[in-house]
Structures are given as structure tokens and as C-alpha cells.
Amino acid sequence: MSIIVTGGAGFIGSNFVLDWLAQSDEMVINLDKLSYAGNLENLSSLQGNSSHQFVKGDIADTNLLVALFAQYQPRAVINFAAESHVDRSILGPGEFVQTNIVGTFNLLEAVRAYWGALPAVQKTAFRFLHVSTDEVYGSLAPDAPAFTETHRYEPNSPYSASKAASDHLVRAYHHTYGLPVLTTNCSNNYGPYHFPEKLIPLMIVNALAGKPLPVYGDGQQVRDWLYVKDHCSAIRRVLEGGTLGDVYNVGGWNEKPNLEIVQTVCALLDELRPRADGVSYAEQVTYVTDRPGHDRRYAIDASKIERELNWKPAETFSTGIRKTVEWYLANESWVANVQSGSYRDWVTANYVERQA
Ligand code: NAD
Ligand code: TYD
């Protein structure tokens, strides 16, 4: 038996593959095109593990997909592959349309052809799990109830619009062709191997480098944070027991304004790696020009997955963020290796024009 994971060299995908192979010897075929966000170093502990087969390739490459399905006969496909950063989608939306919409469409077509030709028993057992985001639901007013699975789609960024389109395609393939799909819509993740263009790892890395900590706008935008390994356990639960065609919202019941997140990171660094001058890292906070169209608040109502699949996060925010800061302090060479020329080009593109 085997599963195909797409995007398994990225942040969440690599955590998923590592957790999967720590608990099972079922083979993982990891298809990733190694964009700027894909990093084989995340998977270095799997060297020599014959249950992990890495394939460099694009989810939009139909010929490659057909060959992979024929060779490995997977019982499931879990689709993490995506362009995932809102700020990049603002500066260059084209890649988001290509991977998140066209790529998902090509993947669905290849899966449909493979699944349609399976013998009855394998056909019934097969699953396509699509990993999506709470951002498809748009922005919440401060006192509005959290997003349920039936909240209307109101995506506001090119990233969330492209993910929304992919979710709709996945839904349509179930309703039209009977494809056995499952969709998860998760809140903001954090944890090991998080590329330092996203809020939490960027703040850790910049703080340690003595650089400004760029808070967009007033820093009062609210996100709901989930430790990445809890997201991985939720995906495994949905894969095992989810109702075909259903959507499961996944979240940590951890709504926090960005400024509080940054202050928490600074306080942990003050404790674990204090600045030589004794001043708090919080002194490095710098308010900068806001993100255009910035969603004010996301919040996930995760009661369906808890009720139906008995899933709950294992980490609280305070345990998860401590583990995360400790991981970055213990993995400085990983951080140094991802700060390549293209990373520096991104930092220039996104931050130099922002007024302090
Ligand atoms: P990431 O950007 O860290 O990783 C994405 C991975 O996909 C990279 O390894 C990249 O090389 C690969 N990839 C990109 N385009 C590809 C293509 N065309 N073909 C094959 N591989 C390709 O993203 P992430 O944070 O790990 O997110 C994974 C998934 O989870 C995404 O679908 C994202 O929308 C979703 N999600 C992320 C979060 C979050 O907080 N990070 C929250 C909810 C949902
Ligand atoms: P991010 O990690 O990019 O995730 P998302 O936009 O998908 O929620 O950003 C999280 C929040 O942090 C978001 O409200 C934007 C804000 N933010 C900053 O204030 N400064 C930064 O440098 C970054 C990258 C994000």
C-alpha cells in the first residue's frame, strides 16, 4: 500500500511525511516541484528510508501523474502542493492561478482517470484529500461567530481566491464524477520547518539577526493559530474516518492579534536567548505599511471534526510556540541555508517599499 503526498517538501507537507513515517511503514511517494518553498533538507532524516520516495515534479504535469499512478497504485492522494504566501500573491498572482487552480485541476483529472479504472474494492477504498485554508471564507467582524463549514466563500486575496477555486473544483469532482474527496480548511499553522517569510518564523529570524520586526498596520489583525503537528494529526483522522465529499474545518481555538504573537515570540527569546545588551527583543518591533486588502480576522469553529472524528489539538498555543522557538534556536543551520539569494530578493521586494 502507498499514498501520494504532493508538496511534501514544504512546511506542512514535510511535517506530515515525517509524522506519517514515524507511525507507519506504508510507503509515501512525495511529489514536489521544489519551488522556493520546497526544501529537501526538511526530509534529511528520511535518508535511506525505503518507505519514502521523493519525485521532483509539478502537479500540473499530467504525463508524470499518469506514470506515477500506474507505477505506485496509491490508495490515497493528499494534496498539499500550492503557492501559499498571501504577500507573494499580491506581488505576483500568476503562479497562484497556475499551481493552485490549473495544477489542482490537472491533478484531479489524473486522479479521476486512475480511480475510474480501479477494481471495485480499491475504488471504494480510494481517497483524495485536499488541504485548504480558512482564508477562503474571507474576513470576520470582531464579534462574528467563527467560520463553520457552511460559511459562504468570500476570498479577498489572490491566494485565497485561488485556493477557493481549487476547493470548488474538488467539490465538483465529487458531485459530478463521484470522486471520493475530502477537504480540510485549516487556520494558520506554525512550528518546525516554517519558511521565514511567514509571520512567526520571520519574527524569530529577524529578532535574532537584530533586524526590525515588521508589524503590518496596527498589528491588531487576528489569526487562529494551530501547531503544525496538530494539523497533520487532523488530516490523518479525516483520511481515516471522514465522510466522502465532506469539508472539515481544522483550528486550534487560539485566536490572537498579530502584535500579541510578536510580543510572545520576543518574550520567549528574551528568556531563552537574551540580547547581549539586556534590552528586550520587543524593542525591535517596527510598524510598517499595511498589506493591501488585509483580512482583519480569521477564526475557525472546529467543533465538527471534534464531534464527528474525535479530533482535538494536543498543543495549546503556549506549549506549541515554546517548542517552535526552541526548534529555531536549535536549527540555526537550517535557517541559514534557507536564507539564500532568492530569499533576500523576496525580503527586498516585500519590505523595502513599506514605510516604517
Ligand atoms: P509551503 O509554501 O511551505 O509548501 C508548498 C510546497 O508545495 C512546496 O514544497 C513547493 O515546492 C510545493 N509546490 C508548489 N507548487 C507546486 C507544484 N506546481 N507542483 C508540485 N509541488 C509544488 O506551504 P505550506 O504552508 O506547507 O502549505 C501547504 C498547504 O496547506 C497549502 O495547500 C496551503 O494552502 C495549505 N494551508 C497552509 C496553512 C499555513 O498556515 N501554512 C494553513 C492552512 C492551509
Ligand atoms: P502570514 O504568516 O503571511 O499568514 P496569513 O497572511 O496567511 O495569515 O501573516 C500572518 C499575519 O501576520 C497576517 O495578518 C499578516 C501579518 N504579518 C505582519 O504583520 N508582518 C509580516 O512581516 C508578515 C509576513 C505578516
Domain range for 135: 2-193+227-254+294-314
* Cβ neighbours around 243 below 10 Å, total: 11
Cell of 330: 536549535
Q: pLDDT tens-digit profile of 185-201?
A: 999 999 999 999 999 99
Total structural domains within the chain: 1
Q: What pLDDT score was predicted for residue 304?
A: 98
Nearest Cα residue to 81 out of 136, 153, 9: 9
Question: Mean pLDDT, to the nearest integer, of 120-135?
Answer: 98
Catalytic residue flag (residue 134): yes
Flag whether pLDDT at 269 surpasses 80. yes
Q: What pLDDT score was predicted for residue 283?
A: 98
Flag whether pLDDT at 42 surpasses 90. yes
Q: pLDDT tens-digit profile of 53-111?
A: 999 999 999 999 999 999 999 999 999 999 999 999 999 999 999 999 999 999 999 99
Q: What pLDDT score was predicted for residue 353?
A: 83
Catalytic residue flag (residue 295): no
Annotated catalytic residue within 32, 83, 87, 134: 134
Q: pLDDT band for position 336 (50/70/90)? A: very high
CB neighbour burial string for 46-66, b if at least 16 within 10 angstroms, e if fewer: beeeeebbbbebbbbbeebbe
In a domain, 99, yes or no: yes
Identify the residue whose C-alpha is closest to ligand 2 atom 20. Answer: 215
CA of 319 to the centre of ligand 1 (A): 24
In a domain, 324, yes or no: no
In a domain, 150, yes or no: yes
Q: pLDDT tens-digit profile of 7-26?
A: 999 999 999 999 999 999 99
Q: Please state, in angstroms and as integers, the Cα–Cα distance from residue 296 to each residue in 44, 95, 136, 138, 318, following that order.
A: 38, 25, 14, 9, 23
In a domain, 105, yes or no: yes
Task: State phi, psi for 353 to the nearest 5 degrees.
Answer: -75, -15
Least confident of 173-187, 261-275, 331-345: 331-345
For residue 350, the ligand closest to its alpha carbon is 2
Q: How far apart are CA 115 and CA 100, in angstroms?
A: 21
Is 313 close to ligand 1, i.e. is its CB under 6 Å away?
no
Catalytic residue flag (residue 72): no
CA of 126 to the centre of ligand 1 (A): 23
Is 103 close to ligand 1, i.e. is its CB under 6 Å away?
yes
What percentage of the chain carries pLDDT values higher than 70?
100
CATH at 17: 3.40.50.720
In a domain, 323, yes or no: no
CA of 275 to the centre of ligand 1 (A): 34
pTM of the model: 0.98
Task: Kindly report the average pLDDT of the chain as a whole number.
Answer: 97
* Cβ neighbours around 330 below 10 Å, total: 10
